[in-house]
Chains A and B, each alone.
Chain A
C-alpha cells in the first residue's frame, strides 16, 4: 500500500477541518446546525474566482509565484472573497437566521438554513452555470518526498496556510477577550449577558470567522480539485461528521476530526475503491454517535 493517501488525506482533511470550524462554532454559539455552511464555501470560492477574473482584466496576465500555480491575484482575491463571504453570512443572519433563532425550537433555524442552502446553490448555478471551472489549468509536477509520497508546491502551501489559520483561530478563541466571550456564550448565554457580554457582537464574530474559513476551504478545493456550485454542499456531511467526531464546540476537535475523516476517506479510496469515499464520513458519523456521542474533545451537557 502506498503512503500517498497520507498527503491526500491531510489535504482533504484540511478542507473539511476548516469548514468544520464554522459548523462547530455556529452549533455551539448560535445553537443550530447551519446547513448553508457548505454554500458559504461555494459562494466564497466563486467570489474569489470573480475577483481573480477582475484582476486579470485590469492587470493582464500575472506570472505565478514560482513554484506555485498561482500568483498574487489569487491571494488578494482570497482575502476579498473571505470578506465577501463574511458579509454574506452577516446579511443572511440579519434577514433570516436572527429571526429564526428567536424561535424556541432550534429545528426551525435548521430548516431555514436548509432553504437558504438550496437558494444559494441555485443562485450560483444561475449566475455561473453548473459547469466545473478552475483557478488555473496549469499542471503541477508533484515532487517525491520519500516513502513513495509525492506532493506539489501548491499542496505544501495550502497545508501551511491551514496550519497557520487553525493556530490563529485557536489563539483567538482561547487567549483573547473576544474568544472568552465566545466560550462564555456557548456555555451559558444568559449568564454571558449578565456578565456584560454583548451577545450581538459575539454572534457577528462567530459568523465572520466561520464564513471566512469556509471561503478559504472552498478556494483550497478550487485550487486542488475544481470549482462547482455543488462543491460546498458535497462537503456538508464530512464537515458535520468532523465537527461531531471532534466534539461540538471544540475547534481543535473539528480540525482533528476533519483530518481523521480526510485520512479515512483517502485510505478507503486506496483500499476498497473510490466509490466508497462518500460512505466513509457517514460510517464514522454513525460510529461516533453510537460509541461516543460527545466526540473526542466534547463535554457532556449538564
Chain B
C-alpha cells in the first residue's frame, strides 16, 4: 500500500547503561501520515522519539528512515539524513532573532537555496515575517512553537518528529498548533508526534500507538482508539461511561 518512511523496530534505549526506559518499542510511520504516540506519564514516549532523533543512547533495535539505517546516528547528522526533531521546550534560540533562528538551521542547505527557503517559511507562517527581527525569546508561546516547527521544516525533512507540541500552551494556542500540524501534513510532510493532549492529537492523527512501560501496547486508527473505552479509561485520561466529561479531564492535563 503506502510506503513506510520511518520504521522503528524492537527499540531499547535509556540514558544510563542497563536502565532502559524504552523497552522493545516498534512503530512505523507511512508517507504522508500523522502518527501519534500516546501513553501515561513515564511511559517513555519522550525517550522513544529522542532515541529516534539520536538524543538518547540506543542499546538494541533499529531505526530505518526510507529504508536506510539511521540507528543512533549523531543527533546533528539527523537533519541531513531527513529527520527533523522539534524538542518539547527550549526549542528556539532565545537571544537570536527569528530570522537568525531560521538561518542557523539552513546549514545543510546550499547557500543559494537558503534565502528562498526562508521566504517560503515566512509565506507559510506570516506571523514570523512580522516578527523577523524580534529575539525568539520574546515571542508568545504559540509563535515560538511556530518558529520551532519552521526551523525543522526548512530543511525539507522526510519526517517531522515533535515532542509534545502543545506542552505549556494555553488552550487557544493548542488548537492553533494542531491546525498548523494538520496544514503541514496537507502539504505532504510526514509527521510523528508524542502528545499528552490525547484528544487534540487524535483529532488530527491518522494512526496512534499507546506506549506503556516503554513498549507499544495498543495501536490503531486514531478514531477507533479514542472510542475504545478500555484504552480511553486506562491511558487517555477519560472516565469510563462518561464521555461528555472527557473534555473536562483532558483540558485539566490528561495523564
Contacts and interface: CB of A to CB of B under 8 A. Distances in A.
Contacts of A198: 76
Contacts of A193: 55, 74-76
Contacts, number: 70
Interface string A191-232: 111111111000000000000000000000000000000000
B219 to A, nearest CB: 27
Nearest to B105: A195
Interface residues of B, number: 28
Contacts of B87: 190-191, 194
Nearest to B76: A193
Interface string B51-70: 00101000000000000000
Given A177-B104, A196-B155, A197-B104, A302 B94 contact: yes
Interface string B96-132: 1000100111111000000000000000000000000
A196 B55 contact: no
Interface of A: 177, 180-181, 183-184, 187-188, 190-199, 299, 302
Nearest to B94: A187
A177 B76 CA distance: 15
Interface in B73-88: 74-80, 85, 87
A189 to B, nearest CB: 11
Given A188-B90, A193-B75, 16 more contacts: A180-B104, A181-B104, A183-B95, A184-B93, A187-B96, A190-B87, A191-B93, A192-B76, A194-B53, A195-B76, A195-B107, A196-B78, A196-B105, A196-B108, A199-B76, A302-B94
A184 B91 CA distance: 11
Contacts of A302: 94, 137
B215 interface: no
A194 B107 contact: no
A180 B93 CA distance: 10
